[in-house]
């Protein structure tokens, strides 16, 4: 109802009107409900005709205006970069799972070097606008958070892959833990597809631009649901992540690194640090040792 209220007040298409005979037109609730049904069930636009009294053309217009309205009104809140507080939460969760300094998993179908060169994922680091991150692995200090990835990604300091052919118990355990945690990104996309079948089903009636907007709006709606249900359904005790408490070995400095000028020299230096293969290997070796020390003597691994 919050979405209906915002759209009806801020998007002209969702305001209730009267026809030439003075009768009320479709209500904002009808239009939003029709859109949600199309997104959630992946049904064609004419499937809402009988239930909500909307024709196929009207239903498609509802979807188009709805996703544009969601992106415009809620984009800054529900499709934004992580804040320092968000990063601290991610670091704490990663550390509990055995990967200090890990802020998530990354995966896509277009992950060659050309796509990474144009990706905005590391823009804040390159431009000197990222929060300062400090963490320790195997008693060694690091300053650049990383993602877990599969083997197709390059060996950068910001990517940690599994070990394809692990030799010895330490490498085997690391591979098991890395692959288990990395599945989070696939699970997240699975949840998105389960909630919004339009993401999974063939897109026969939309062009690329509209498909992109539908995808973004679905992700934002998903984030709204996660935020709304987090306190009641979270598997992690969020009280551990409140600012001011002990955050273990991982810490985000809430002062952004904006003291670094965004000149070409500093930007190139940041790129070199991100792509540092030696740092990548050192971090990976330390993680293998760290995970073995922490989990190597568990009953499940004996």
Alpha-carbon span 67 to 11, nearest angstrom? 11
> Within a domain: residue 198?
yes
Question: pLDDT digit string (tens) for 108-161?
Answer: 766 556 667 677 788 877 777 777 889 999 999 999 999 999 888 889 999 999
Answer yes or no: do 36 and 168 share one domain.
no
Contact 62, 214 (CB under 8 A): no
pLDDT band for position 57 (cuts 50, 70, 90): confident
- Domain count along the chain: 2
Phi-psi category of residue 232: left, alpha or beta, with phi > 0 → left and psi -120 to 50 → alpha: alpha
Q: What is the structure's pLDDT at 240?
A: 47
- 277 and 146 within one domain: yes
Residues 51 and 92 in one domain: no
The answer to whether residue 217 is domain-embedded is no
Mean pLDDT of 249-253: 71
Q: Do 117 and 193 belong together in one domain?
A: yes
Degrees to nearest 5, angle at CA 134 with 81 and 294: 110
**pLDDT for position 10:** 95
Q: Average of pLDDT values for 41-58?
A: 72
Question: What's the pLDDT score for residue 82?
Answer: 83
Domain annotation covers residue 232 = no
Query: Quick one: 137 and 117 in the same domain?
Result: yes
Task: Classify strands 131-137 and 140-142 as parallel, antiparallel or unpaired.
Answer: antiparallel
Predicted TM-score (pTM) above 0.75: yes
- Whether 20 and 114 map to the same domain: the answer is no
Could you tell me if residue 94 is inside a domain? yes
In a domain, 223, yes or no: no
pLDDT at 260: 52
Could you read off the pLDDT of 101-110 as tens digits, one per residue?
Answer: 999 998 876 6
Please tell me whether residues 97 and 193 are part of one structural domain. yes
pLDDT at residue 19 above 80? no
Q: Which residues sit opposite 226 in a β-bridge?
A: none
Same domain? 59 vs 102: no
Q: Dump pLDDT digits (tens) for 76-100.
A: 999 888 888 888 989 999 999 999 9
Residue 278 lies in a domain: yes
Residue at which a domain ends, from 78, 102, 136: 78
Final residue of a structural domain among 78, 96, 120: 78
Whether residue 230 lies inside any domain: the answer is no
Q: What percent of the chain has pLDDT over 70?
A: 82
**59-74: pLDDT as tens digits:** 889 999 999 999 999 9
What pLDDT score was predicted for residue 5?
95
**Together in a domain, 289 and 149:** yes
* Mean pLDDT, the chain, integer: 83
pLDDT at residue number 206: 81
Task: Return the pLDDT at 245.
Answer: 41
| Domain end call among 33, 55, 78 | 78
Of 2, 1, 8, nearest in space to 69 by CA? 8
One domain for residues 21 and 133: no
Whether 129 and 250 map to the same domain: the answer is yes
CB 116 within 8 A of CB 154: yes
Structure tokens at 43: 């049904």
89 with 73, same domain: the answer is: no
| HEC profile of the chain | CHHHHHHHHHCHHHCCCECCCCCECCCHHHHHHHHHHHHHHCCCHHHHHHHHCCCHHHHHHHHHHHHHHHHHHHHHHHCCCCCHHHHHHHHHHHHHCCCCCEEEECCCCCCCHHHHHHCCCCHHHHCCCCEEEEEEECCEEECCCEEECCCCCCCCCCEECCCCCCCCHHHHHHHHHHHHHHCHHHHHHHHHHHHCHHHHCCCCCCCHHHHHHHHHHHHHHHHHHHHHHHHHHCCCCHHHHCCCCCCCCEEEEEEECCCCCCCHHHHHHHHHHHCCHHHHHHHHHHHHHHHHHHHCCCHHHC
The two three-digit tokens of residue 180, written as one number: 């288990």
- Domain of residue 157 covers 84-205+237-301
218 domain residue, yes or no: no
């Amino acid at each position: 109802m919050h979405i209906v209220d915002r759209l009806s007040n801020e998007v002209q298409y969702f305001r209730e009107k009267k026809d030439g005979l003075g009768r009320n037109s479709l209500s904002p609730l009808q239009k939003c409900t029709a859109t949600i049904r199309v997104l959630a069930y992946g049904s064609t636009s004419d499937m809402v005709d009988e239930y909500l009294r909307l024709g196929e053309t009207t239903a498609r217009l509802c979807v188009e205006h709805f996703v544009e309205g969601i992106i415009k009104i809620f984009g800054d809140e529900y499709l934004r970069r992580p804040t320092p507080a968000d990063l601290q939460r991610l670091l704490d969760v990663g550390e509990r799972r055995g990967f200090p300094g890990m802020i998530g998993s990354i995966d896509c179908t277009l992950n060659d070097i050309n796509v990474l060169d144009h990706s905005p994922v590391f823009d804040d680091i390159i431009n000197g606008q990222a929060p300062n991150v400090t963490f320790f692995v195997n008693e060694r200090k690091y300053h650049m958070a990383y993602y877990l990835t599969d083997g197709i990604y390059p060996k950068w300091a910001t990517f940690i892959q599994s070990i394809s052919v692990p030799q010895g118990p330490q490498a085997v355990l690391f591979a098991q833990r890395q692959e288990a945690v990395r599945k989070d990104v696939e699970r997240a996309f699975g949840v998105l597809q389960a909630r919004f079948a339009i993401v999974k089903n063939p897109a026969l009636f939309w062009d690329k631009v509209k498909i992109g907007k539908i995808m973004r709006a679905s992700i934002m709606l998903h984030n709204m649901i996660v935020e709304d249900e987090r306190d009641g359904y979270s598997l992690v005790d969020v009280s551990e992540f409140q600012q001011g408490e002990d955050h273990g070995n991982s810490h985000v400095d809430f002062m952004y690194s904006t003291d670094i000028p965004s000149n070409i020299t500093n930007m190139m230096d940041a790129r070199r640090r991100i792509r540092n293969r030696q740092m990548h290997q050192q971090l990976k070796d330390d993680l293998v040792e760290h995970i073995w020390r922490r989990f190597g003597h568990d009953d499940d691994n004996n």
